[in-house]
Protein backbone atom coordinates (compact mmCIF):
# COMPACT_ATOMS: atom_id res chain seq x y z
CA UNK A 1 0.00 0.00 0.00
CA UNK A 2 1.37 3.42 -0.93
CA UNK A 3 2.18 6.24 1.48
CA UNK A 4 -0.79 8.31 0.38
CA UNK A 5 -3.29 5.56 1.23
CA UNK A 6 -1.55 4.88 4.52
CA UNK A 7 -1.90 8.57 5.41
CA UNK A 8 -5.61 8.48 4.55
CA UNK A 9 -6.10 5.43 6.75
CA UNK A 10 -4.41 7.21 9.63
CA UNK A 11 -6.65 10.22 9.05
CA UNK A 12 -9.75 8.00 9.10
CA UNK A 13 -8.66 6.53 12.42
CA UNK A 14 -8.24 10.02 13.84
CA UNK A 15 -11.81 10.75 12.74
CA UNK A 16 -12.99 7.68 14.65
CA UNK A 17 -13.30 5.37 11.64
CA UNK A 18 -11.39 2.22 12.59
CA UNK A 19 -11.83 -0.39 9.85
CA UNK A 20 -10.09 -3.10 11.88
CA UNK A 21 -12.56 -2.61 14.71
CA UNK A 22 -15.44 -2.61 12.25
CA UNK A 23 -14.28 -5.86 10.66
CA UNK A 24 -14.43 -7.55 14.04
CA UNK A 25 -18.18 -6.92 14.03
CA UNK A 26 -18.63 -9.12 10.93
CA UNK A 27 -18.00 -12.82 11.78
CA UNK A 28 -18.21 -14.05 8.19
CA UNK A 29 -15.18 -12.02 7.12
CA UNK A 30 -12.84 -14.08 9.30
CA UNK A 31 -12.67 -17.30 7.34
CA UNK A 32 -10.44 -19.09 4.87
CA UNK A 33 -11.52 -19.70 1.26
CA UNK A 34 -9.36 -22.04 -0.83
CA UNK A 35 -6.54 -21.68 1.66
CA UNK A 36 -6.64 -17.85 1.55
CA UNK A 37 -8.28 -15.26 3.79
CA UNK A 38 -11.68 -14.31 2.41
CA UNK A 39 -11.72 -10.98 0.58
CA UNK A 40 -15.38 -10.17 0.04
CA UNK A 41 -15.86 -7.68 -2.80
CA UNK A 42 -19.40 -8.55 -3.87
CA UNK A 43 -21.24 -6.00 -1.75
CA UNK A 44 -23.40 -4.72 -4.62
CA UNK A 45 -25.01 -8.18 -4.73
CA UNK A 46 -25.47 -8.42 -0.96
CA UNK A 47 -23.73 -7.04 2.10
CA UNK A 48 -22.49 -8.99 5.09
CA UNK A 49 -24.18 -8.76 8.49
CA UNK A 50 -22.75 -7.34 11.73
CA UNK A 51 -23.10 -9.20 15.00
CA UNK A 52 -25.79 -6.89 16.34
CA UNK A 53 -28.04 -7.89 13.41
CA UNK A 54 -27.38 -11.59 13.94
CA UNK A 55 -27.97 -11.16 17.67
CA UNK A 56 -31.25 -9.28 17.14
CA UNK A 57 -32.61 -12.05 14.92
CA UNK A 58 -31.51 -14.77 17.32
CA UNK A 59 -32.99 -12.91 20.30
CA UNK A 60 -36.34 -12.67 18.55
CA UNK A 61 -36.50 -16.42 17.95
CA UNK A 62 -35.11 -17.32 21.38
CA UNK A 63 -37.07 -14.89 23.54
CA UNK A 64 -40.26 -13.52 21.96
CA UNK A 65 -41.08 -15.36 18.73
CA UNK A 66 -44.75 -14.64 18.10
CA UNK A 67 -47.08 -13.21 15.50
CA UNK A 68 -47.66 -9.47 15.65
CA UNK A 69 -50.56 -7.00 15.99
CA UNK A 70 -53.36 -9.39 16.96
CA UNK A 71 -52.16 -10.86 20.24
CA UNK A 72 -52.72 -9.63 23.78
CA UNK A 73 -50.15 -11.96 25.33
CA UNK A 74 -46.68 -10.78 26.28
CA UNK A 75 -44.74 -12.47 23.49
CA UNK A 76 -46.97 -10.95 20.82
CA UNK A 77 -46.82 -7.53 22.41
CA UNK A 78 -43.02 -7.67 22.58
CA UNK A 79 -42.77 -8.80 18.96
CA UNK A 80 -45.15 -6.06 17.84
CA UNK A 81 -43.20 -3.42 19.75
CA UNK A 82 -39.89 -4.50 18.16
CA UNK A 83 -41.44 -4.66 14.70
CA UNK A 84 -42.97 -1.19 14.91
CA UNK A 85 -39.80 0.23 16.48
CA UNK A 86 -37.95 -0.88 13.36
CA UNK A 87 -40.49 1.02 11.26
CA UNK A 88 -39.80 4.15 13.30
CA UNK A 89 -36.05 3.70 12.83
CA UNK A 90 -36.47 3.47 9.06
CA UNK A 91 -38.82 6.44 9.01
CA UNK A 92 -36.09 8.48 10.67
CA UNK A 93 -33.34 6.93 8.51
CA UNK A 94 -34.92 8.19 5.28
CA UNK A 95 -36.66 11.19 6.91
CA UNK A 96 -40.19 10.22 5.96
CA UNK A 97 -42.94 12.40 7.41
CA UNK A 98 -44.85 9.56 9.01
CA UNK A 99 -44.65 5.88 9.93
CA UNK A 100 -47.63 5.46 7.61
CA UNK A 101 -45.28 6.08 4.67
CA UNK A 102 -43.03 3.10 5.48
CA UNK A 103 -44.28 -0.16 3.95
CA UNK A 104 -42.45 -3.42 4.65
CA UNK A 105 -41.99 -5.66 1.60
CA UNK A 106 -39.68 -8.52 0.59
CA UNK A 107 -37.20 -6.20 -1.10
CA UNK A 108 -36.84 -3.40 -3.63
CA UNK A 109 -38.14 -5.69 -6.39
CA UNK A 110 -41.46 -6.21 -4.63
CA UNK A 111 -41.66 -2.52 -3.77
CA UNK A 112 -41.36 -1.54 -7.44
CA UNK A 113 -43.90 -4.16 -8.49
CA UNK A 114 -46.27 -2.89 -5.80
CA UNK A 115 -46.13 0.64 -7.20
CA UNK A 116 -46.46 -0.56 -10.79
CA UNK A 117 -49.51 -2.70 -10.08
CA UNK A 118 -51.26 -0.65 -7.41
CA UNK A 119 -50.54 2.90 -8.54
CA UNK A 120 -49.63 2.40 -12.20
CA UNK A 121 -52.27 -0.10 -13.25
CA UNK A 122 -55.00 2.07 -11.76
CA UNK A 123 -53.69 5.35 -13.14
CA UNK A 124 -52.36 4.77 -16.67
CA UNK A 125 -54.00 4.29 -20.04
CA UNK A 126 -52.84 3.81 -23.62
CA UNK A 127 -52.09 7.50 -24.14
CA UNK A 128 -49.73 7.71 -21.17
CA UNK A 129 -45.97 7.30 -20.98
CA UNK A 130 -43.48 5.76 -18.54
CA UNK A 131 -39.83 6.84 -18.52
CA UNK A 132 -37.00 4.66 -17.21
CA UNK A 133 -33.27 4.58 -18.08
CA UNK A 134 -30.76 2.38 -19.87
CA UNK A 135 -28.92 2.00 -16.55
CA UNK A 136 -31.62 0.12 -14.70
CA UNK A 137 -31.50 -3.20 -12.92
CA UNK A 138 -34.01 -5.62 -14.42
CA UNK A 139 -36.16 -5.10 -11.31
CA UNK A 140 -36.76 -1.54 -12.48
CA UNK A 141 -37.38 -2.53 -16.09
CA UNK A 142 -39.56 -5.65 -16.19
CA UNK A 143 -42.36 -4.34 -13.89
CA UNK A 144 -42.78 -1.33 -16.19
CA UNK A 145 -42.75 -3.54 -19.28
CA UNK A 146 -45.55 -5.58 -17.71
CA UNK A 147 -47.46 -2.42 -16.86
CA UNK A 148 -46.99 -1.09 -20.37
CA UNK A 149 -48.49 -4.26 -21.84
CA UNK A 150 -51.34 -4.20 -19.32
CA UNK A 151 -52.33 -0.57 -19.89
CA UNK A 152 -51.11 0.21 -23.39
CA UNK A 153 -48.86 2.95 -22.02
CA UNK A 154 -45.64 3.70 -23.90
CA UNK A 155 -42.29 2.89 -22.29
CA UNK A 156 -39.42 5.30 -23.01
CA UNK A 157 -35.76 5.25 -22.02
CA UNK A 158 -33.20 7.87 -20.98
CA UNK A 159 -29.96 6.96 -22.81
CA UNK A 160 -26.49 6.96 -21.30
CA UNK A 161 -23.19 8.26 -22.66
CA UNK A 162 -19.92 6.36 -23.00
CA UNK A 163 -19.05 7.13 -19.37
CA UNK A 164 -22.22 5.47 -18.12
CA UNK A 165 -23.95 8.76 -17.25
CA UNK A 166 -27.54 9.67 -18.03
CA UNK A 167 -27.94 12.20 -20.84
CA UNK A 168 -30.20 14.69 -19.11
CA UNK A 169 -30.76 16.69 -22.30
CA UNK A 170 -32.36 13.59 -23.83
CA UNK A 171 -34.48 13.10 -20.72
CA UNK A 172 -35.78 16.64 -21.12
CA UNK A 173 -36.86 15.78 -24.67
CA UNK A 174 -38.73 12.67 -23.47
CA UNK A 175 -40.83 14.50 -20.89
CA UNK A 176 -44.31 15.59 -21.95
CA UNK A 177 -47.83 16.07 -20.68
CA UNK A 178 -48.27 12.34 -21.29
CA UNK A 179 -45.51 11.36 -18.84
CA UNK A 180 -47.11 9.78 -15.79
CA UNK A 181 -44.31 7.79 -14.15
CA UNK A 182 -40.53 8.22 -14.08
CA UNK A 183 -38.59 5.34 -12.47
CA UNK A 184 -34.83 5.74 -11.97
CA UNK A 185 -32.12 4.02 -9.95
CA UNK A 186 -30.35 6.18 -7.39
CA UNK A 187 -27.05 4.39 -8.07
CA UNK A 188 -26.31 1.94 -10.88
CA UNK A 189 -25.62 -1.57 -9.60
CA UNK A 190 -23.61 -2.41 -12.73
CA UNK A 191 -21.42 0.70 -12.99
CA UNK A 192 -21.68 2.61 -9.71
CA UNK A 193 -22.94 5.77 -11.41
CA UNK A 194 -24.67 8.16 -9.02
CA UNK A 195 -27.61 9.61 -10.90
CA UNK A 196 -28.74 13.24 -10.46
CA UNK A 197 -32.03 12.14 -8.97
CA UNK A 198 -33.02 15.51 -7.48
CA UNK A 199 -32.79 17.08 -10.94
CA UNK A 200 -34.71 14.15 -12.45
CA UNK A 201 -37.45 14.42 -9.82
CA UNK A 202 -37.86 18.17 -10.18
CA UNK A 203 -38.04 17.96 -13.98
CA UNK A 204 -40.68 15.21 -13.81
CA UNK A 205 -42.79 17.17 -11.35
CA UNK A 206 -42.96 20.06 -13.79
CA UNK A 207 -45.16 17.72 -15.85
CA UNK A 208 -47.01 16.39 -12.78
CA UNK A 209 -45.44 12.96 -13.26
CA UNK A 210 -44.81 10.73 -10.25
CA UNK A 211 -41.26 9.53 -9.56
CA UNK A 212 -40.04 6.25 -8.11
CA UNK A 213 -36.41 5.97 -7.06
CA UNK A 214 -34.84 2.52 -6.83
CA UNK A 215 -32.48 3.02 -3.90
CA UNK A 216 -31.27 -0.56 -3.51
CA UNK A 217 -27.65 0.43 -4.18
CA UNK A 218 -27.78 3.76 -2.36
CA UNK A 219 -28.84 3.35 1.25
CA UNK A 220 -25.61 1.65 2.33
CA UNK A 221 -23.43 4.38 0.80
CA UNK A 222 -25.17 7.74 1.13
CA UNK A 223 -27.78 9.55 3.20
CA UNK A 224 -31.32 9.58 1.83
CA UNK A 225 -33.82 12.32 2.69
CA UNK A 226 -37.07 11.57 0.89
CA UNK A 227 -38.63 14.89 1.90
CA UNK A 228 -35.69 16.89 0.55
CA UNK A 229 -35.65 14.80 -2.63
CA UNK A 230 -39.44 15.16 -2.92
CA UNK A 231 -39.64 11.74 -4.58
CA UNK A 232 -43.08 10.13 -4.65
CA UNK A 233 -41.77 6.62 -3.97
CA UNK A 234 -38.43 5.25 -2.79
CA UNK A 235 -37.56 1.54 -2.65
CA UNK A 236 -34.68 -0.29 -1.01
CA UNK A 237 -33.66 -3.76 0.17
CA UNK A 238 -32.56 -4.72 3.66
CA UNK A 239 -29.85 -7.16 2.62
CA UNK A 240 -27.86 -4.47 0.82
CA UNK A 241 -27.76 -2.23 3.87
CA UNK A 242 -26.28 -4.93 6.16
CA UNK A 243 -29.66 -6.36 7.15
CA UNK A 244 -31.28 -9.74 6.42
CA UNK A 245 -32.48 -11.03 3.07
CA UNK A 246 -36.18 -11.19 2.34
CA UNK A 247 -37.09 -7.78 3.71
CA UNK A 248 -37.20 -4.31 2.19
CA UNK A 249 -38.98 -0.99 2.30
CA UNK A 250 -41.27 1.01 0.10
CA UNK A 251 -41.59 4.66 1.00
CA UNK A 252 -44.54 6.45 -0.54
CA UNK A 253 -46.10 9.84 0.04
CA UNK A 254 -49.06 9.33 2.33
CA UNK A 255 -51.56 11.04 0.03
CA UNK A 256 -50.62 8.72 -2.83
CA UNK A 257 -50.65 5.57 -0.72
CA UNK A 258 -54.10 6.44 0.64
CA UNK A 259 -55.54 6.46 -2.88
CA UNK A 260 -53.83 3.24 -3.99
CA UNK A 261 -55.69 -0.10 -3.71
CA UNK A 262 -54.08 -3.02 -1.86
CA UNK A 263 -51.46 -5.00 -3.75
CA UNK A 264 -52.29 -8.29 -2.03
CA UNK A 265 -55.16 -9.57 0.09
CA UNK A 266 -55.05 -11.50 3.35
CA UNK A 267 -54.70 -11.12 7.07
CA UNK A 268 -53.69 -7.86 8.75
CA UNK A 269 -54.52 -5.68 5.72
CA UNK A 270 -58.22 -5.66 6.64
CA UNK A 271 -60.53 -4.01 9.16
CA UNK A 272 -63.70 -5.95 8.37
CA UNK A 273 -64.48 -8.89 6.10
CA UNK A 274 -67.91 -10.17 5.13
CA UNK A 275 -68.80 -12.74 2.50
CA UNK A 276 -69.52 -9.94 0.05
CA UNK A 277 -67.03 -7.19 0.80
CA UNK A 278 -63.94 -6.10 2.71
CA UNK A 279 -62.99 -2.88 4.48
CA UNK A 280 -59.24 -2.35 4.20
CA UNK A 281 -56.91 -1.44 7.04
CA UNK A 282 -55.26 1.94 7.51
CA UNK A 283 -51.76 2.73 6.31
CA UNK A 284 -49.24 1.20 6.37
CA UNK A 285 -50.96 -2.11 7.09
CA UNK A 286 -53.16 -1.94 3.97
CA UNK A 287 -50.10 -3.05 2.00
CA UNK A 288 -48.77 -5.67 4.44
CA UNK A 289 -50.94 -8.74 3.87
CA UNK A 290 -50.27 -11.90 5.84
CA UNK A 291 -47.63 -12.71 8.42
CA UNK A 292 -44.63 -10.54 7.58
CA UNK A 293 -40.93 -11.30 7.87
CA UNK A 294 -40.90 -10.28 11.52
CA UNK A 295 -37.35 -11.34 12.30
CA UNK A 296 -36.16 -9.73 9.07
CA UNK A 297 -37.75 -6.40 9.94
CA UNK A 298 -36.23 -6.50 13.44
CA UNK A 299 -32.86 -7.38 11.92
CA UNK A 300 -33.17 -4.49 9.47
CA UNK A 301 -33.84 -2.16 12.38
CA UNK A 302 -30.64 -3.38 14.02
CA UNK A 303 -28.73 -2.82 10.76
CA UNK A 304 -29.99 0.77 10.63
CA UNK A 305 -28.73 1.22 14.21
CA UNK A 306 -25.31 -0.03 13.16
CA UNK A 307 -25.05 2.23 10.11
CA UNK A 308 -26.20 5.23 12.13
CA UNK A 309 -23.58 4.54 14.78
CA UNK A 310 -20.76 4.62 12.22
CA UNK A 311 -22.31 7.47 10.25
CA UNK A 312 -23.04 7.52 6.54
CA UNK A 313 -20.82 10.56 6.06
CA UNK A 314 -17.87 8.59 7.46
CA UNK A 315 -18.81 5.56 5.37
CA UNK A 316 -19.05 7.59 2.18
CA UNK A 317 -15.71 9.31 2.75
CA UNK A 318 -13.92 6.03 3.44
CA UNK A 319 -15.49 4.20 0.50
CA UNK A 320 -14.61 7.03 -1.87
CA UNK A 321 -10.98 6.64 -0.84
CA UNK A 322 -11.17 2.87 -1.40
CA UNK A 323 -12.59 3.35 -4.89
CA UNK A 324 -9.99 5.97 -5.79
CA UNK A 325 -7.24 3.65 -4.59
CA UNK A 326 -8.66 0.73 -6.59
CA UNK A 327 -9.01 2.87 -9.72
CA UNK A 328 -5.44 4.08 -9.37
CA UNK A 329 -4.00 0.57 -9.17
CA UNK A 330 -6.30 -0.96 -11.76
CA UNK A 331 -5.50 1.75 -14.29
CA UNK A 332 -1.91 0.48 -14.36
CA UNK A 333 -2.96 -3.01 -15.53
CA UNK A 334 -2.39 -3.47 -19.26
CA UNK A 335 -5.49 -4.76 -21.02
CA UNK A 336 -7.89 -3.75 -18.26
CA UNK A 337 -10.77 -1.57 -19.42
CA UNK A 338 -13.06 0.27 -17.02
CA UNK A 339 -16.76 -0.03 -17.80
CA UNK A 340 -18.43 3.00 -16.25
CA UNK A 341 -16.30 6.08 -15.68
CA UNK A 342 -18.89 8.57 -14.47
CA UNK A 343 -17.67 11.68 -12.68
CA UNK A 344 -20.09 10.90 -9.87
CA UNK A 345 -19.86 7.26 -8.81
CA UNK A 346 -19.35 5.11 -5.77
CA UNK A 347 -17.96 1.80 -4.57
CA UNK A 348 -18.04 -0.19 -7.83
CA UNK A 349 -15.15 -1.17 -10.07
CA UNK A 350 -16.59 -2.78 -13.20
CA UNK A 351 -14.07 -3.92 -15.79
CA UNK A 352 -13.06 -6.27 -18.57
CA UNK A 353 -9.68 -7.85 -19.28
CA UNK A 354 -8.62 -8.22 -22.90
CA UNK A 355 -8.86 -11.82 -24.07
CA UNK A 356 -10.25 -13.20 -20.77
CA UNK A 357 -13.94 -13.93 -20.13
CA UNK A 358 -15.29 -12.39 -16.91
CA UNK A 359 -16.40 -15.80 -15.63
CA UNK A 360 -12.83 -17.07 -15.94
CA UNK A 361 -11.63 -14.01 -14.03
CA UNK A 362 -14.15 -14.68 -11.27
CA UNK A 363 -13.10 -18.32 -11.01
CA UNK A 364 -9.39 -17.54 -10.74
CA UNK A 365 -10.03 -14.78 -8.22
CA UNK A 366 -12.12 -17.16 -6.12
CA UNK A 367 -9.16 -19.55 -6.03
CA UNK A 368 -7.25 -16.65 -4.46
CA UNK A 369 -9.99 -16.10 -1.87
CA UNK A 370 -11.33 -12.99 -3.65
CA UNK A 371 -15.10 -12.89 -4.11
CA UNK A 372 -16.34 -10.66 -6.94
CA UNK A 373 -19.40 -10.81 -9.20
CA UNK A 374 -19.19 -11.65 -12.90
CA UNK A 375 -21.92 -11.53 -15.53
CA UNK A 376 -24.49 -9.02 -16.70
CA UNK A 377 -25.45 -8.03 -13.12
CA UNK A 378 -29.18 -8.09 -13.96
CA UNK A 379 -28.51 -5.15 -16.26
CA UNK A 380 -28.48 -6.60 -19.77
CA UNK A 381 -29.33 -3.29 -21.47
CA UNK A 382 -26.18 -1.80 -19.91
CA UNK A 383 -24.08 -4.61 -21.35
CA UNK A 384 -25.76 -4.16 -24.72
CA UNK A 385 -25.00 -0.43 -24.62
CA UNK A 386 -21.28 -1.15 -24.16
CA UNK A 387 -21.38 -4.07 -26.63
CA UNK A 388 -20.08 -6.62 -24.15
CA UNK A 389 -21.64 -9.81 -22.74
CA UNK A 390 -20.54 -9.25 -19.16
CA UNK A 391 -18.11 -7.52 -16.80
CA UNK A 392 -16.16 -8.39 -13.70
CA UNK A 393 -17.40 -6.27 -10.81
CA UNK A 394 -15.63 -5.59 -7.53
CA UNK A 395 -17.89 -3.68 -5.16
CA UNK A 396 -16.71 -2.24 -1.87
CA UNK A 397 -18.14 -1.66 1.59
CA UNK A 398 -16.79 0.15 4.62
CA UNK A 399 -15.37 -3.08 6.06
CA UNK A 400 -13.05 -3.56 3.09
CA UNK A 401 -9.43 -2.46 3.30
CA UNK A 402 -6.67 -1.09 1.13
CA UNK A 403 -4.75 -4.32 1.70
CA UNK A 404 -7.67 -6.28 0.24
CA UNK A 405 -7.56 -4.10 -2.86
CA UNK A 406 -3.83 -4.86 -3.13
CA UNK A 407 -4.73 -8.57 -3.13
CA UNK A 408 -7.44 -7.98 -5.73
CA UNK A 409 -4.91 -6.39 -8.05
CA UNK A 410 -2.45 -9.25 -7.50
CA UNK A 411 -5.19 -11.76 -8.33
CA UNK A 412 -6.07 -9.89 -11.53
CA UNK A 413 -2.39 -9.97 -12.51
CA UNK A 414 -2.45 -13.72 -11.91
CA UNK A 415 -5.37 -14.02 -14.34
CA UNK A 416 -3.28 -12.39 -17.01
CA UNK A 417 -0.40 -14.78 -16.38
CA UNK A 418 -2.69 -17.81 -16.63
CA UNK A 419 -4.06 -16.74 -20.02
CA UNK A 420 -0.88 -15.23 -21.51
The pLDDT assigned to 381 comes to 96
Q: How many whole angstroms separate alpha carbon 265 and alpha carbon 245?
A: 23
68 falls within a domain:
yes
Residue range(s) defining the domain that contains residue 9: 3-30+311-419
Check whether residue 66 and residue 111 sit in a common domain: yes
369 falls within a domain:
yes
Check whether residue 268 and residue 171 sit in a common domain: yes
| Catalytic (active-site) positions | 378
> What CA–CA distances, in Å, run from 366 to 268, 341, 381?
45, 25, 27
The pLDDT assigned to 6 comes to 59
Tens digits of residue pLDDT in 340-380? 999 999 999 999 999 999 999 999 999 999 999 999 999 99
Q: Which residues pair with 350 in a beta bridge?
A: 393
Q: How many whole angstroms separate alpha carbon 11 and alpha carbon 307?
A: 20
Tens digits of residue pLDDT in 105-161? 999 999 999 999 999 999 999 999 999 999 999 999 999 999 999 999 999 999 999
Check whether residue 120 and residue 269 sit in a common domain: yes
Check whether residue 19 and residue 63 sit in a common domain: no
What DSSP designation does 291 have?
S
Q: Is 60 exceeded by the pLDDT of residue 269?
A: yes
Number of domains the chain contains = 2
Tens digits of residue pLDDT in 149-199? 999 999 999 999 999 999 999 999 999 999 999 999 999 999 999 999 999
Confidence of residue 14 (pLDDT cuts 50, 70, 90): very low
* Percentages of the chain per state (helix, strand, coil), in multiples of 5: 45, 20, 40
38 falls within a domain:
no
Check whether residue 177 and residue 140 sit in a common domain: yes
Confidence of residue 30 (pLDDT cuts 50, 70, 90): very high
Which residues does 323 contact at the CB level (< 8 Å), separation at least 6? 192, 345, 346, 347, 348, 349, 396
177 falls within a domain:
yes
Residue 377: give its domain's CATH number. 3.90.1150.10
Confidence of residue 281 (pLDDT cuts 50, 70, 90): very high
Residue 187: give its domain's CATH number. 3.40.640.10
- Mean pLDDT on 309-329: 96
**Average model confidence (pLDDT) across the chain:** 95
40 falls within a domain:
no
Q: Which residues pair with 212 in a beta bridge?
A: 183, 233
In which element (H, E) is residue 197 found?
Answer: helix 197-205
Amino acid sequence: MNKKSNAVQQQNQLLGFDVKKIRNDFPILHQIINGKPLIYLDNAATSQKPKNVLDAIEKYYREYNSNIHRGVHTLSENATEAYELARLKIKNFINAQSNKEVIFVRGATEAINLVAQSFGRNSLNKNDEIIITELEHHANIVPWQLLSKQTGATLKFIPINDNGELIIEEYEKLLSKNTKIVAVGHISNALGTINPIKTIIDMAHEYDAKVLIDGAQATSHTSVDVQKLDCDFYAFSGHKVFGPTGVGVLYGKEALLEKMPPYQGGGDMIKMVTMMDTQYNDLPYKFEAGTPNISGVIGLGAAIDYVNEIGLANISQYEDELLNYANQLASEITGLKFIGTAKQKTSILSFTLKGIHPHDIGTILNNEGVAIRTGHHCAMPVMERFKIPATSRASFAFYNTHEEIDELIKAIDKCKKVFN
